[in-house]
Amino acid sequence: MIEDRPFDGWSSVDEFLSISGLKNSTDKKYLSVKSDYFLIESSVKTNNMTWKMRSLFYQNKNKWKNFYRFLVITYEENNPNH
């Protein structure tokens, strides 16, 4: 199902259900093709350090709130580039 997702997502719940094969087995009132949650993943590598961050944002009425942020810093002692 995920592999069949259009690049821009589904335009309607009916379109999603017709593609997914769930048309007759799902109550549409529990589904939506709109999302107010966005996950941002970033990674920066400098010299022998790598910084990775994941942030989950929520948008409500053009206001953004950061729900979650996770930062990992790794250090590579034996960097062959230096």
Q: Hey, where are the domains in the chain?
A: 1-33, 35-82
pLDDT values of the chain reduced to their tens digit, one per residue, 82 residues? 777 788 888 888 888 887 766 766 667 788 888 888 888 999 999 888 999 999 998 888 888 888 788 888 888 887 565 5
How many Å apart are CA 56 and CA 19, to the nearest integer? 28
Cβ atoms of residues 76 and 48 within 8 Å: yes
Q: What angle do CA 2, 50, 59 make, to 5 degrees?
A: 45
Residue 80: per-residue pLDDT = 61
Residue 13: per-residue pLDDT = 85
| Nearest to 46, CA basis, from 2, 79, 24, 23 | 79
How far, rounded to the nearest angstrom, does the alpha carbon of residue 31 sit from its chain's CA centroid?
Answer: 18
Query: What's this model's pTM, rounded to 2 decimal places?
Result: 0.49
Q: Tell me which H or E stretch contains 14.
A: helix 13-20
